[in-house]
Amino acid sequence: MSAALDQPAARPAAAARPLVRVRDLHVTFATRERTVHAVNGVDLDLAAGEVLCILGESGSGKSVTMRALMRLLPRFARISGAIEVAGRDVAAMNERELADFRGGEVAMIFQEPMTALDPVFTIGRQIAETVQRHEGASRQAAEARALELLELVQIPSAKRRLAAYPHELSGGLRQRAMIAVALACRPKLLLADEPTTALDATVQIQVLLLLRELQRELGMGVIFVTHDLGVAGEIADRVAVMYAGRVVEEGPVGALMAAPLHPYPQGLLGATVHPGMRGRRLTTIPGAPPLLDVVAPGCAFPPRCPHAEEACLAAVPAMRSPAPGRRARCLRVPDGDVS
């Protein structure tokens, strides 16, 4: 493991204000039948130009956390906590401000590009429309920009592809086209919700490398939600692992992947099939993630945790930091670095 990657210095240091600052975020979905506590007190910081992966399994609250940043949750969702993006309070925005904010300062890409692209407009028109809407550019200028963007995302014969409809493109090209739409207004923050999960292996790595290159070139902050440890290893500067609506561990990608502190990411790493595990029995995390109908008063992991004690159930463990840049919510982690 290279030491350079483990240094928090990789992020632009001394940025006075983080690009994203989330404090004590709670999201509950209440319907007549049941109430689901999807996010239960998440704190996140993202520096400008940094890539943070939120890693978690289905139901861990990773996508809900990300959507809250853009206020893309359904109306019946109850959201509390502070969300600041680029110094602005997202909760206080009115509809008009939100419409400017989405697609302008913050853009999002999704797993399934067909749901994000409009099937009845050409790729070129969709990009140009975004540029016209947010930057007030003329139609001509917007179309020129659309061509630049398709070249930026490395779509071959970009000029011809401007006139293509989404269904005429292959999966990988569609994903690139969606990235082009998202980058149309040079966002400061890109939110990516499993954008490579549905892609074939040889295409997935192309899109990951493209995203990393674009992020560096444009200096964007990126929050990348994934369930795949390998994807996080390819793209993240920092990783936040979520379980049952809370961040249980956070740290630089290299250090966290090499030696996780919390038993959940430890188990996850052991349960993920690596090359060279043939013939060995896989370690598993017994049981299944909890239903989120009630919030556990303590740590949510004890039913599956090999080290659980009574103290774990009493109260939610505070974040402990044994080393600079590393934090975990576990009573077994020593609290060395007081920061």
Partner 1 sequence: MDDLASAPDRGGPAQPLLTLTGLVKHFPLKGGLFGRTRAVVRAVDGVSFAVAKGETLGIVGESGCGKSTTARLLMRLIDPDAGSMIFNGEPVGESEQAGGIALRDYRRQVQMVFQDSYASLNPRLPIEESIAFGPRVHGLPAAEAVQRARELLAAVGLAPESFARRYPHELSGGQRQRVNIARALALRPRLVILDEPVSALDKSVEAQVLNLLVDLKEGFGLTYVFISHDLNVVQYISDRVLVMYLGEVVEMGPVEAIYDRAAHPYTRALLDSRPSMDPARRRTRPPLTGDPPNPVNPPSGCRFRTRCPSAEEVCAARKPRMAALGGGHVAACHMADPGSGHSRAGAALEAAA
| Smallest distance, partner 1 to C-beta of residue 168, A | 12
Q: Mind spelling out the 3-state secondary structure of 113-158? A: HHHHCCCCCCHHHHHHHHHHHHHCCCHHHHHHHHHHHHHHCCCCCH
Smallest separation (angstroms) from partner 1 to the CB of 252: 9
Single out the residue of 13, 16, 92, 201 in contact with partner 1 (rule: CB under 8 A).
201
- Check residue 179 for interaction with partner 1 (CB under 8 A): no
In the complex with partner 1, the residue whose CB is nearer, 138 or 272, is 272
Q: Which of 34, 216, 274, 307 binds partner 1 (CB under 8 A)?
A: 274
Beta-bridged to residue 109, according to DSSP, are 192
CB of 260 to partner 1, least distance (A): 12
Contact 246, 316 (CB under 8 A): yes
CA distances from 229 to 239, 252, 254, 258 (A): 10, 13, 12, 12
Per CB under 8 A, which region of 61-69, 108-116, 180-188, 230-238 contacts partner 1? 230-238
Instruction: Point out which span in 14-22, 34-42, 185-193, 227-235 binds partner 1 (CB under 8 A).
Output: 227-235
Distance CA 48, CA 58 (A): 28
Q: Locate 175 and state its tokens.
A: 């994903």
Which residues in 34-63 contact partner 1 (CB under 8 A)? 57-58
Q: Which of 182, 185, 193, 186 is nearest to 219 (CA)?
A: 186
Q: Find out whether 330 and 317 touch, Cβ atoms under 8 Å.
A: yes
DSSP structural state of residue 105: T
Interface residue with partner 1 among 170, 186, 219, 324 (CB under 8 A) is: 170
Q: Which stretch binds partner 1 (CB under 8 A): 40-48, 122-130, 217-225, 279-287?
A: 279-287
* Binds partner 1 (CB under 8 A): choice among 86, 223, 236, 333: 236
To partner 1, the closest distance from the beta carbon of 234 in angstroms equals 4
> Are 324 and 8 a contacting pair, CB within 8 Å?
yes
Shortest CB 209 distance to partner 1, Å: 5
Calculate ∠ Cα 255-298-251, nearest 5°: 15
CB of 301 to partner 1, least distance (A): 11
Q: Spell out, one character per residue from 283 to 302, where the chain touches partner 1: x when CB under 8 A holds, - when not.
A: xxxx-xx-------------
- Six-digit token string for 215: 């992020």
Min separation Cβ 62 and partner 1, Å: 12
Q: What are phi and psi of 292, to 5 degrees?
A: -105, 35
What is the footprint of partner 1 within residues 254-273 (CB under 8 A)?
254, 257, 267-268, 270-273
Q: Is 29 exposed, middle or buried (0-12, 13-18, 19+ CB in 10 A)?
A: middle
Locate 325 and state its tokens.
């840049």
Nearer to partner 1, 74 or 276 (CB): 276
Closer CB to partner 1, 43 or 151, in the complex: 151
Residue choice 81, 104, 171, 322 for contact with partner 1 (CB under 8 A): 171
Q: CA 278 to CA 4: how far, in whole Å? A: 32
The binding site for partner 1 (CB under 8 A) comprises 1-2, 5, 57-58, 156, 170-173, 200-206, 208-209, 227-231, 233-234, 236, 253-254, 257, 267-268, 270-275, 277-278, 281-286, 288-289
